[in-house]
Structure 1
Amino acid sequence: MLNKITTKILIGILFIITVASCNDKPKTETTEEKSEIVKHKAKAETPEYFMLRPEVEKAYGYSHAVKIGNAIKVSGAVSMDDEGNPTAIGDLEQQMKNCYADLEKILKHYGCTFNDVVAENIFTTNMPKFLEVAGYRTEIYKNQFPTGSWLGVKELAIPEFLIEIELEVHKTN
């Protein structure tokens, strides 16, 4: 009999504690704390644009990269000189290396490396040749490979371009 009474008392106490804790009001931020949170969030979400070759990018109407918060989206890199002329014409392997060299410059601008790349999409007009030289990527991605796709396409922006590589990056704090 005592066990039944003790059990009922314990259940009653637990019920009272549960109801009381449900009535606790969550801590609310002060106006000053809310203002700081809004300022920080707005700053973190303000896009930061980067142009690798400003004159070329303005002429074609794009920015090479944009960072919002910790996310960075990098437009497709192609093998071109500073005036926008194709380089390494007819040499897919060298064009790929030129793309990665440009991508590395963009990553460095944001304080990143290829270790921060989370997605890589490669577009090529010659998939069989790309598959022959794709092993070069092991020199770029030393720790792990990002997600991504390899797509064979009919053509790129300029007929001499054989490959284009775009990235998505997550910058760690």
Structure 2
Amino acid sequence: MSNKEIIATNNAPQAIGPYSQAVKVGNTVYLSGQIPLIPDTMEMIEGGITEQATQVFKNLSAVAEAAGGSLNDAAKVNISLTDLGEFTQVNEVMMQYFSHPYPARACVQIAALPRGAMIEVEVILAL
């Protein structure tokens, strides 16, 4: 018998592929990557990287809450950007959603993201 629990909330965008918003195994929660979709409309938020990063972290916060935690329970964050030149702006937004001590993190530049997003972020929580 599996000890996996599927986490889902209407306060974050629904999956746009064959995956779950998050999966909880024991005290660890794996949050799928979020792009800056508005949950109610499933449309991309308008604006630049600051607006997109803010929407992504709002979406991740909603999924973390549905799992019984918050982004301050994050052990690891993986950020994918289409332009590493936006690294500083993303850091500024991230500091609004996480408290010190910050989680471990990786940030990479990639060629493209779904729906033309500039940013995608995935998180692992330790509850």
Calculate the TM-score normalised by the size of structure 2. Answer: 0.87
1:35-50 paired onto structure 2 within 5 Å: 46-50=3-7
Residues 93, 130 of structure 1: 8 Å contact kept: no
For the aligned residue pairs, the C-alpha RMSD in angstroms reads: 2.0
Instruction: Tell me how far apart the structure 1 counterparts of residues 53 and 25 of structure 2 sit (CA, whole Å).
Output: 27
TM-aligned CA deviation for residue 133 of structure 1:
4.0
Runs of 5+ unmatched residues, structure 1: 1-41
**Structure 2 counterpart of 1:99:** 56
Equivalent pairs: percent with the same residue? 21
Count of matched residue positions in the alignment of Structure 1 and Structure 2: 125
Runs of 5+ unmatched residues, structure 2: none
Instruction: Tell me how far apart the structure 1 counterparts of residues 14 and 64 of structure 2 sit (CA, whole Å).
Output: 19
Partner residue of 2:105 out of 143, 148, 161? 148
Greater strand proportion:
2
CA deviation digits over 1:53-90, x for unaligned, max 9?
A: 59942x521111000100100011111123432112x5
Instruction: Tell me how far apart the structure 2 counterparts of residues 70 and 78 of structure 1 sit (CA, whole Å).
Output: 25
Distance change (3 Å), C-alpha of 1:100 and 1:66? same
Pick the structure with greater CA Rg.
1
Calculate the TM-score normalised by the size of structure 1. Answer: 0.65
Greater helix proportion:
1
Partner residue of 1:86 out of 32, 36, 44? 44
Instruction: Tell me how far apart the structure 2 counterparts of residues 98 and 109 of structure 1 sit (CA, whole Å).
Output: 17
Distance change (3 Å), C-alpha of 1:135 and 1:60? same
